[in-house]
Amino acid sequence: MWFKLFRIKNYRSIVDTGWNELASDNITGLIGQNESGKTSILEALNSFYSGKISDDILRSDLSLPEVSCSFSLTSAELKKFFSEKKVPEKILDLIHKSGQIALTRTWNADMSSYLSFGDEQVREFYMELEDKQKAFEEKTLSGLYRVLEEAKKAEGDRGNALMEKEETKKELRALELILARARKIDGKKPTKDTQNQLQKLLLEEERLKKRFEKKKSALESRSGRLADLSDNSRFAQLCLDTLDELDKAKGLWEESYRELYDIQIYFDSLHTEREIKGIKGKLDMVNANHLKNDRKLEKSRSRASFSVAVTSRILKGMDPSEAEDLVEKEIRKQAAYYSEFELAEQAFMHIPIFELFEDFSSLLPNRIDLEDIFTANSAVEGFKAARNFLIVSGLKSTFFEERSSRILKQKIEKLNNDLSLNFQDYWRQNLGKDNKIEIHFELEHYDNTHPDKMGKPYLEFWIKDEQERLYPKQRSRGVRWFLSFYLELKANAIENKDRSRVFLIDEPGLSLHARAQEDVLAVFEDIKDDIQIMYSTHSPHLININKLYRLLAIQRAVEDDMKSETVIFDPRSLNEASTDTLSPIYTLMGTKLSDHQFVKKKNNVIVEDTPTYYYLSTIFSLAGYKKEMYFLPATDVNNVPTLVNLLIGWKLDFVVLLDDDSDGNRIYRELRRTHYHDNDEIASRKLIRLDSGGSVEDLFSTIDFKNFVLHKRVGITESNSEYIEMNELSKAKLASDFILDVQNNKIKLEDFDDETIDNISRLIKKLDNVLS
């Protein structure tokens, strides 16, 4: 897995960086002025890995930070890393399509954080699932209430029906008494009246009997309904009880979390051991209580979701035991897939380890006891540097178990040679004249001057050059810094072969000489196949001019306004960054030129700017031009006359090569008038113009420009230089990419078409005619 992209939101001066790509060859540099936000980017990425942030990173609007990182993932890795469960089909498709997985860490107001898996599309997928689940729960809950309501109503209805039945029964009984009496009277002395009265009562009895029967059947029907509903309402009530239980568990969890959070903050603020000891017991107790509540909450949550799922099916008419079986089956099926949280957790276990290096303060000591190293006594001075030294040397404790002191000495001597050679590959800085330093170590034993340690072994370190052998502490801080840096990086690379790493290095080599800073870059180059590096710098010496694609330019949205947000310019839009931000690049271009000691007695060719210098030097070398000539770049066309005056003053021979554009022509006329008194014959021998109608980029045919400089397929109807200007492209970046391609043998002279070759030949001929 390689770290590919990052996006930071709401972190100190950063509002939203958008997605930014890391350099494809694993070394990414952040350039920018002080306070531009370079360190914030490194810290944010470190926070992504560690999950830790401090109060001071929060923005004034208290919007919470979020850091997303995307990593490459091959099909084999996908299979290997996510083997325990199944990845949902849709997410698999998305991963296969992009070849990357993204992780986002979001912080809560209490500084705790959580990881989420995937980019916006994946998150949308899980959000949809969540919404569906929520809708299902809400629907079930309203169903539960409805059932309970109905059951309650049915109970009322049954009660009413019962009452009505009883009342009718009562009426019927009363009527039966009256009827018995009427029968008696009529039996004794039947008259027409008694007969009529009896008839009436009989009719009334029949009516009441019918009514009673009706009430009886109504009661039966209500009772039946109540019986039907009572099962469902019982299940509904049970489900509501589990939801209540969940609410209570949540309440308890929040309460214990708050208590733990407060006590933890208090604990972290303590300084004395006594205070710490005093509160430690309480902290442990609260922690244990919170853990208990956490487990309880988890249990309640799964019980509630199970109950909701089962009850919803029962309410739809399913048999309770069947519903339980079905839900259990569904849960098992669901459990076979990774949840969003599990995916994030699983991915996080395999992403590269991020390490932030702010300083390399553990400098190599003069001596260290072997016992301290092998018992990992980190409190001892220089422990980390000495431990790193042993890792880089490949030394284990068994090495020192060799009984023969002669063999051990030989081994050490050999090792010292190997190690110094390796170190010298990077440390090119000369000490004194031709001396280069070597690191040596020796195994010694304490004598009787140290009675408490007498006979115990210790390692002694030396930094040696041809003239003298000195203890590390007798060397400059710069040498010791570089050594510690070298040891740390190398040791880390050796120790963690199984998992890739991302080193975030803030301002490496701040105290080093320019040459030594370049050596730092060499170390980066050496470890970049194992470790990805992102570093911040102001120094031009920590930038490779041929690899500007490695740079991200960091600056404030409003220059000089430290309250405005941090913005990032990727290598394709470096030209949009401010001059101050890009100053290391400009300085470097100048510095590199000065390395060449480029002003010679004759055949100096003054050109307008550095891109022209780089193009022409490269093209003339591609064309195999043999005559010695030296291109001198002015920093701008307007500075050409100054350079001309300088060379005239130094009595150095030169010609001036100007662009065939308005500025070039203006300077041409100015020089012809001021230096050559408008004498065309002399001027034509000293002042040359690129005759392809524009700037150095116009030496290329449009097709070659597109294929070898622009690397883009687009119709260009204007001149190449006009295209660059109109599209606001960085001339320096294009020149740098072109040079890199030539250096890597990706471009040869024969790749150019006839038009380009003609243009180059004409220019060579033109210059050749005027050079001596």
Partner 1 sequence: MDYFKEIALEQDLITKISEQRDKIQHQQKELAESLKYASSIQSALLPDLRYFKKLFPENFVMFKPRDIVSGDFYWYGRKGSRVAVAAADCTGHGVPGAFMSMLGISFLDEIVSKGVPGANSILNRLRENVMKALHQTGEVGEHKDGMDIALCVFDLEKMEMEYSGAFNPLYLIRKGVLHETRGDKMPIGINAVVEKSFTNHCIKLKQGDLIYLFSDGYADQFGGPYNKKFKYNPLKELLVKISKKPLEAQKKDLERSFIKWKADCEQLDDVLLIGLKI
Q: Which stretch binds partner 1 (CB under 8 A): 303-311, 315-323, 365-373, 699-707?
A: 699-707
User: What is the 8-class DSSP label of residue 707?
Assistant: I
Write out the binding residues for partner 1, residues 557-576 only, by CB under 8 A: none
Contact with partner 1 (CB under 8 A) among 148, 279, 283, 716: 716
Q: Which is nearer to partner 1, 77 or 755 (CB)?
A: 755
CB of 720 to partner 1, least distance (A): 11
Q: Residue 366 to residues 455, 487, 515, 591, 614: CA-CA distances in angstroms?
A: 19, 15, 26, 37, 47
Judged by beta carbon, residue 153 or residue 712, the one nearer partner 1 is 712
User: Which two tokens mark 586?
Assistant: 């400009």
Measured between alpha carbons, how far is 223 from 226 in angstroms, rounded to an integer?
5
Report which of 19, 15, 9, 8 is spatially closest to residue 98, judged by C-alpha positions: 19
Residues 332-359: b if buried by 16+ CB within 10 A, e if exposed: eeeeeebebebbbebbeebbbebbbbee
Query: Taking contact as CB under 8 A, which single stretch among the options 115-123, 296-304, 605-613, 711-719 is the one that binds partner 1?
Result: 711-719
Does 746 help bind partner 1 (rule: CB under 8 A)?
no
CB of 717 to partner 1, least distance (A): 5
Asked if 707 touches partner 1 (CB under 8 A), the answer is yes
Instruction: Compute the least distance from the CB of residue 712 to partner 1, in Å.
Output: 7
Q: Which stretch binds partner 1 (CB under 8 A): 548-556, 563-571, 681-689, 749-757?
A: 749-757
Residue selected from 130, 413, 753, 768 as contacting partner 1 according to rule CB under 8 A: 753
Instruction: Count CB neighbours of 230 within 10 A.
Output: 13
Q: Angle of helix 192-269 relative to helix 273-315, nearest 10 degrees?
A: 150
> Closest approach of Cβ 719 to partner 1, in Å?
11
Least Cβ distance, residue 269 to partner 1 (angstroms):
59
Dist CA 413 CA 415 (whole Å)? 5
* 332, 406, 713, 765: residue in contact with partner 1 (rule CB under 8 A): 713
Measure the CA–CA gap between 481 and 360, rounded to whole angstroms.
7
The helix (run of H) or strand (run of E) holding residue 269 is helix 192-269
Q: Does 703 bind partner 1 (CB under 8 A)?
A: yes
- Size of residue set near partner 1 by CB under 8 A: 14
Does the footprint of partner 1 cover residue 748 (CB under 8 A)?
no
Q: Between residue 237 and residue 296, which ones bind partner 1 under the rule CB under 8 A?
A: none
Per-residue binding letters, 434-453, with partner 1 (x by CB under 8 A):
--------------------
Binding segment toward partner 1, per CB under 8 A, in 411-419, 546-554, 660-668, 698-706: 698-706
Minimum CB distance to partner 1 smaller for 544 or for 756: 756
Judged by CB under 8 A, which of 46, 532, 701, 730 binds partner 1?
701
β-pair partners for 693: none
Beta strands in 429-543 (DSSP E): 438-445, 457-464, 469-470, 501-506, 531-537
**Ranges within 89-118 binding partner 1 (CB under 8 A):** none
Q: How far is the CB of 478 from partner 1 (least distance, A)?
A: 49
**Structure tokens that stand for 43 in this block:** 């810290």
The answer to whether residue 649 forms part of the interface with partner 1 (CB under 8 A) is no
Q: Cα-flanking dihedrals φ and ψ of residue 501, to 5°?
A: -130, 155
Pairing assessment for the beta strands 654-658 and 687-689 based on DSSP bridges: parallel
CB of 736 to partner 1, least distance (A): 22
**CB-wise, 317 or 715, nearer to partner 1?**
715
**Which of 597, 662, 717, 745 is the binder for partner 1 (CB under 8 A)?**
717
Q: What does the alpha-carbon distance between residue 255 and residue 245 come to, in Å, rounded to a whole number?
A: 15
Q: Which is nearer to partner 1, 13 or 756 (CB)?
A: 756
Q: Is 706 in the site for partner 1 (CB under 8 A)?
A: yes
Q: Which of residues 506-545 bind partner 1 (CB under 8 A)?
A: none
Comparing CA positions, the residue from 485, 483, 488 lying closest to residue 463 is 483
259: nearest Cα among 291, 287, 297: 287
In this structure, the strands spanning 566-569 and 457-464 are unpaired
Task: Return the range that interacts with partner 1 (CB under 8 A); candidates 268-276, 424-432, 519-527, 703-711.
Answer: 703-711
* SS3 of 305-335: HHHHHHHHHHHCCCCHHHHHHHHHHHHHHHH
Interface region with partner 1, contact rule CB under 8 A, candidates 369-377, 441-449, 531-539, 696-704: 696-704
685 within 8 A of 706, measured Cβ to Cβ: no
Of 398-406, 494-502, 635-643, 701-709, which segment contacts partner 1 by CB under 8 A? 701-709
Q: Which of 746, 646, 740, 760 is nearest to 700 (CA)?
A: 760
Which stretch, 103-111, 360-368, 475-483, 712-720, contacts partner 1 (CB under 8 A)?
A: 712-720
Contact flag: residue 726 with partner 1 (CB under 8 A): no
In angstroms, give the least distance from the CB of 718 to partner 1: 9
In the complex with partner 1, the residue whose CB is nearer, 685 or 712, is 712
Question: What angle (nearest 5°) sits at the alpha carbon of residue 3, between those of residues 14 and 40?
Answer: 25
Query: From the CB of 701, what's the least distance to partner 1, in Å?
Result: 7
**Dist. CA 394–CA 415, nearest whole Å:** 9
Chain residues that interact with partner 1, rule: CB under 8 A: 701-703, 706-707, 712-717, 753-755
